[in-house]
């Protein structure tokens, strides 16, 4: 049995695989994504908005190597949650996402240890595979999302791309 200052080392509850992406809530997602691409060398990765059937929030995902940022803005002024957050805090990070082995077990363990559960684990599927996601509240207004992804013929390197696809973002045309 392994122990440390905080008691027994957790066993069998899954593990963190990697940091996946940051989601920013901003006043203008398109402008923020363009800035990161034009000035900082990011490349467009995915889009979700009116053209893909989304009616509430527009999302622009950009990537540079293993770094992924998702910029989100309200599509209409009636989005009170996003509007209130932007009024109080301005543009900034809203979500920190991690890839994990067992999302349900890690969520359960976090809540048992005092974390506030924001959204219990749920599963989304499409022809590419499935993703289990959950959200816990941390300090201030950030809500880390943890998820476990299962794919056939997929390595860790492609997990982020498929997670974005499963979340409903469309990939820009490569033509």
| CATH number of domain containing 149 | 3.10.180.10
Task: Note whether residue 30 is domain-resident.
Answer: yes
Indicate the burial class of 25 (C-beta count within 10 angstroms; 0-12, 13-18, 19 or more): buried
> Of 64, 63, 70, whose CA–CA distance to 22 is shortest?
70
pTM strictly above 0.85: no
pLDDT tens profile 148-161: 443 332 222 333 44
What residue spans of the chain are helical by DSSP H?
A: 29-40, 80-89, 103-112, 159-166
Task: Tell me what pLDDT residue 10 has.
Answer: 58
Task: Tell me what pLDDT residue 8 has.
Answer: 65
Task: Note whether residue 36 is domain-resident.
Answer: yes
The domain tally of the chain equals: 1
pLDDT tens profile 14-53: 677 888 889 999 999 999 999 999 999 999 999 999 998 8
Enclosing domain of residue 105: 15-166
**Mean pLDDT, rounded, for 95-117:** 84
Task: Note whether residue 93 is domain-resident.
Answer: yes
The C-alpha torsion from 141 through 142 and 148 to 150, rounded to 10°, is: 100
């Amino acid at each position: 049995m392994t122990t440390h200052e905080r008691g027994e080392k957790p066993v069998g509850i899954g593990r963190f695989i990697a940091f996946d992406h940051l989601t920013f809530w901003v006043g203008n997602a398109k402008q923020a994504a363009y800035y990161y691409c034009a000035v900082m060398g990011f490349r467009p990765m995915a889009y979700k908005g009116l053209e893909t059937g989304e009616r509430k929030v527009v999302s622009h995902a950009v990537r540079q190597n293993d770094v992924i940022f998702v910029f989100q803005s309200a599509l209409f002024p009636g989005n009170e949650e996003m509007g209130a957050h932007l009024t109080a805090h301005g543009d900034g990070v809203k979500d920190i996402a991690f890839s994990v082995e067992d999302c349900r077990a890690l969520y359960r363990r976090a809540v048992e240890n005092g974390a506030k559960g924001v959204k219990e684990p749920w599963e989304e599927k499409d022809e590419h595979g499935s993703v289990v996601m959950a959200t816990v509240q941390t300090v201030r207004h950030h809500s880390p999302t943890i998820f476990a992804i299962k794919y056939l013929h997929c390595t860790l390197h492609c997990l982020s791309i498929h997670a974005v696809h499963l979340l409903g973002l469309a990939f820009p045309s490569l033509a």
